[in-house]
A and B are shown apart, each in its own frame.
Chain A
Amino acid sequence: MSTETIEVNVGDAVSRGADATAKAESGKMALNVGPSHPTTHGVLRLMMDLDGDVITRCEPVLGYLHRGDEKIAENMTYNQFVPYTDRLDYLSPLANNVAYAIAVEKLTGLELPERCEAIRVLVCELARVSSHLLGMGVFGMDAGAWTPFMYTFTEREKLYTLFEELTGARFTTSYTRIGGVARDIPDGWLDRVSHFCDNLPKAIDEVEKLLTRNRIFIDRTEGIGQVSQEDAIAYGFTGPNLRASGVDLDLRKDKPYSGYEKYDFDVPIGTRGDCYDRYLVRIEEVRQSLRIIKQVISDFPSGLWYAEDAKKIFAPPKEKILTSMEELIQNFMIVTEGPQIPAGEVYFEAENPKGALGFYIVSKGGGVPYRLKIRAPSFCNLSILEKMVPGHMLSDITVILGSLDFVMGECDR
């Protein structure tokens, strides 16, 4: 195949935004932010009308990162789809992996051994810590504070080293399988996680010193982007954003999965639902996650890290595949036809760092889902922008978007 290079001049950004300007009411200015803009943390586009410095209309435009994950899922075996879940909320891939695996397991009715559940809780909480570290860091940056980001990013880097040891990948982990996890934890890994958890509070304290009582930071976030309890529920907020508005809903407590009921932790709740509350809730969630991680490690169960019953849908041990006829055939069937999942439908939501990540799976039997719907928390959390933003100043936009802590990979799917 030959390739040809042509140079194209498609005009400047200003002329492309001209149609938006024409639409603005007289006396107002149309402003287009994004899709590629540092404020929007990805490829979110906002079309706004300004009256001086005050925003009078805000229309979010999505879809710039739409990859058709749900269509792809309908054409793939269940295990083949695991890597796609990494790319939903790509700041906490481990938590996505776990949510997806549990959804499919609910459909098959698999019971998992304790060790597997403990590993999953552990990686979910580590993913939450890593996601919130980044979220808080960039939120500080959005409000004009560069330094906290350096602290949180350094800690997140240490976590990624731990993820690499566990899964072989820093970012796109693809760690779970239907009925288990890809591999057991490596030797000495738990000690290194403990060591990390012992040192993290110091870094969090540093960040708090820089932000929590910082006059400039408080002035920029307090009372900004306030979401009432009623609105938060009506617009389908979930996760830290919902809790910051004073709604006590945490699926780890209310509808425990993967053995969360065994661990003791508090759910931080905000009072006013403004940007500052959302920040405080995230800070506290990191500390609570550390509490959970310590409890998991102190009483780490032994045993299998995959369900014994799952061998038919998971995969036989590697050494057996290479030496035994039966296992070889079985492995071939699993790889080609996929795990055979009974017909039915299931909806499962996990409490992910960004909110409740839901999978609705309709199966008609066989190795591929008939329909797989991903309920993305970032998608739902953003739908309030149209209502919430008008009335704020233009400079508040960066803070509001930063405090909502969304990921477009998950929003657009």
Chain B
Amino acid sequence: MIDQDFTDSILAKFSSVTKRHHEDCLTLDCDSFSVKDVLLHLRDEETFDLLVDLTAIDHGEHADSRFSVVIHLYSRIHHDYLRVHSICENNEHPSFPSVSDLYPAANWHEREAFDMFGIRFNDHPNLKRILMWDDYPYYPLRKDFPLAGIETPLPADDVAEVTQASVDPAPMMGGPFVSGTGDNMSEAEPRAKDESWTEDTEKPVL
């Protein structure tokens, strides 16, 4: 297990790293400029040689720093995980240094984060969409992207030409029926996510 000495040695070595309150595994905050140095140290000196997960969080359109990248490492010696939080520069066009040269496993995870959140990973060898198709114009896991989706052209041009079809938003009438995370009762009240059309009002023509 990771003990206090280990944490102290990391904090002493890197002035940009701070410890964050955590419940499951040691969680470090780190700025994006020094994240590669920290990871290199953790990989080579502290046996955290397995990058198990890399992902991003969108803290909302109005947050001071909107996107952060979260990296989970695992050590086969300590038998424990370590989490690194790091904030992306620039809310409009977020960017982050690619760590795929340190951990090849990060390659696809970074492509996914780029695909879903639009975070540019600098010096990534092959930064293109991985789950959505290449011409897809949006970043679906951003908080301002609606659950139902947004109408987009069909990826196959020739099919679209003949059928006049497009990728339509999903019908959302009546569900999912969930509560928000607001503090007061009116915000937390359970409701259907999309209320733009119901049994009484027609689905808007797209």
Contacts and interface: CB of A to CB of B under 8 A. Distances in A.
Interface of A: 6, 8-11, 62-63, 66, 68, 70-72, 75-77, 80, 106-107, 109, 233-236, 238, 247-249, 254-255, 336-338, 344-349, 356, 358, 360, 362, 364-368, 370-371, 373, 375, 379-380, 382-383, 387, 412-413
B180 interface: yes
19 contacts: A8-B162, A71-B145, A75-B176, A106-B23, A107-B23, A236-B103, A249-B76, A255-B79, A337-B190, A338-B179, A347-B81, A358-B53, A366-B180, A367-B179, A368-B180, A373-B53, A375-B52, A379-B108, A380-B105
Task: Among B53, B105, B145, find the residue whose CB has the most chain A CB atoms closer than 10 A.
Answer: B53
A360 B193 contact: no
Given A255-B79, A347-B81, A360 B55 contact: yes
Nearest to B22: A345
B181 A364 contact: yes
A349 B52 contact: yes
A368 B52 contact: no
B108 A347 contact: no
A413 B116 CA distance: 12
B62 to A, nearest CB: 15
Nearest to B58: A371
Contacts of A62: 130-131
B127 interface: no
A245 to B, nearest CB: 13
Contacts, number: 137
B131 A412 contact: yes
Contacts of B195: none
- Pick the 4 closest A-B CB pairs, nearest first: A236-B105, A366-B181, A63-B131, A336-B190
Interface residues of B, number: 50
A188 to B, nearest CB: 38
A10 B162 contact: yes
A254 B76 contact: yes
Contact of A346 (B24, B51, B177): B24
The winner among A365, A380, A412 for most chain B CB atoms within 10 A is: A380
B2 interface: no
B206 interface: no
Given A6-B163, A63-B129, 18 more contacts: A8-B162, A77-B179, A107-B23, A234-B104, A235-B105, A255-B79, A336-B190, A338-B179, A345-B23, A346-B24, A362-B57, A366-B180, A366-B181, A367-B179, A368-B179, A380-B52, A383-B105, A413-B131
A364 B179 CA distance: 13
B181 A63 contact: no
A66 B131 contact: yes
B197 interface: no
B59 to A, nearest CB: 9
A71 B141 contact: yes
Interface centre among A107, A349, A413 (most CB of B within 10 A): A349
A220 to B, nearest CB: 28
Interface in B141-158: 141, 145, 147, 156, 158
B121 to A, nearest CB: 15
Contacts of A66: 131-132
Contacts of B181: 364-368, 370
